[in-house]
Amino acid sequence: MDNDVPLVRARDLHVSFVSPDATIAAVNGIDLDLAAGEVLCILGESGSGKSVTLRALMALNPRRKTVLSGELSVGGYDIMSMSESDLSSVRGKVVSMIFQEPMTAFDPVFTIGRQISEAIMRHEGVGQGEAEKRALDLLEMVQVPSAKRRLKAYPHELSGGLRQRAMIAMAISCRPKLLLADEPTTALDATVQIQILLLLRRLRDELGMGIVFVTHDLGVAGEIADRIAVMYAGRMVEQGSVADVMARPLHPYTQGLMGATVHSGNRGERLTTIPGAPPDLRYPITGCAFAPRCSHASEICREALPAFRHRADDRSVRCIKLEEAA
């Protein structure tokens, strides 16, 4: 692949869900760039649009209810203009996803081996026997103990951690260029969580995949990511390198997130909370979406949407107060 073309390039990406009752503007204009081998972590609370953004990257939101717009290219494919059947050759092959809930993301009546080899047979053009052999290799690669036996197991026969590993094995089965991970560790306990993160980092190094990772866990973000993007109400509010964002969050919302979570930076301090609740995305928002919960907010914040400014220190932030200060 041409190294000048980014792995992911999204411009003004919008996603809204249409139902007879309401239209929900879940993602409102996102710009995203990701180079091969780079790990981006999207941070935000529930309903901030991070999972929706992730799914939009492979046009996986329910087709009948979703309106996608903007520019989006992934691995050189123009996702927006592709039909469902064209997309099916890209999904799993060029871009694939590790789903959030390993409990429900596997088909309960098919064996793990069948479900992994199904993807391999679809994209690699090999027969059942060869596909099953590769599935076995993959399970060993993600360190599933007694992999041969697990191949014949049904999802309910595996523990949560093993299911998550099997899910990762399935996602990387066709060596995708881009791996999307939707909170892959939230359902797991802390020790398994670390193992999974180390595994993902190793896979990135070995296979050179780009990874977009969604979480609301700052610790997880710090462990694996190169860059962090913080989302609020369907928009990006801050982006920068992990070290910068964690050490010196600029946006009041990011500061609030840091203050509300335990991480190395605030050990020994009292945790704070962000007052209020995220806005209802069924109604249009004027001005800064975070203004109603922001302690620094003034009239000017409510008047117009602040721009997402790129700063000299290679960070971007959406806050009018910071512009004033600069």
Partner 1 sequence: MLFYIFRRIIYMIPIALAVSLVCFMLIHLSPGDPIDAMVPADTPPDIVKQVRHDYGLDQPLPVQFAYWLGHVVQGDLGTSILRRRPVLPDLLTASGNTFVLAITGGLLGFLIGCIFGGIAGVFRGTWIDRILLGTAVAGVSIPHYWLGMVLVIIFSVGLHLLPAMGAGPGDTGTWAWDMDHIRFLILPALTLSVIPAGLITRTVRGLVSDIMGQDYITTLRGKGLRSWRIVQHVFLNAAPTVLAVMGLQLANLMGGSILVETVFAWPGTGAMLNDAIFQRDFPVLQATTLVLALFFVVLNLVVDLIQTAIDPRISRR
Instruction: Out of 16, 53, 96, 254, name the contact with partner 1 by CB under 8 A.
Output: 96
What's the rounded Cα separation, in Å, for the pair 309 and 250? 12
DSSP-based three-state secondary structure for 47? coil
For partner 1, the binding residues in 40-59 under the rule CB under 8 A are 58
Nearest to 44 by CA among 215, 160, 290: 215
Count other C-beta atoms under 10 Å from residue 255's C-beta: 18
Question: Which residue blocks in the chain are alpha helix, DSSP H?
Answer: 50-56, 84-90, 112-124, 128-141, 147-151, 160-171, 190-207, 218-224, 242-247, 252-260, 299-303, 320-325
Site string for partner 1, 160-199 (x = CB under 8 A): ----------xx-x--------------------------
Between residues 104 and 146, which has the closer beta carbon with respect to partner 1?
104
Between residues 122 and 175, which has the closer beta carbon with respect to partner 1?
122
CA 143 to chain centre: 23
Instruction: Out of 156, 202, 296, 311, name the contact with partner 1 by CB under 8 A.
Output: 156
Between residues 118 and 132, which has the closer beta carbon with respect to partner 1?
118
Nearest approach, Cβ of residue 189 and partner 1 (Å): 21
Instruction: Out of 47, 49, 75, 92, name the contact with partner 1 by CB under 8 A.
Output: 92
| 109 binds partner 1 per the rule CB under 8 A | yes
Instruction: Out of 35, 36, 60, 80, name the contact with partner 1 by CB under 8 A.
Output: 60
Residues whose CB is less than 8 angstroms from the CB of residue 176 and which lie 6 or more positions away in sequence, other chains included: 92, 93, 94, 95, 96, 209
Query: Which residues of the chain form contacts with partner 1 (CB under 8 A)?
Result: 58, 60, 84-85, 87-93, 96-97, 99, 101, 104-111, 118-119, 122-123, 154, 156, 170-171, 173
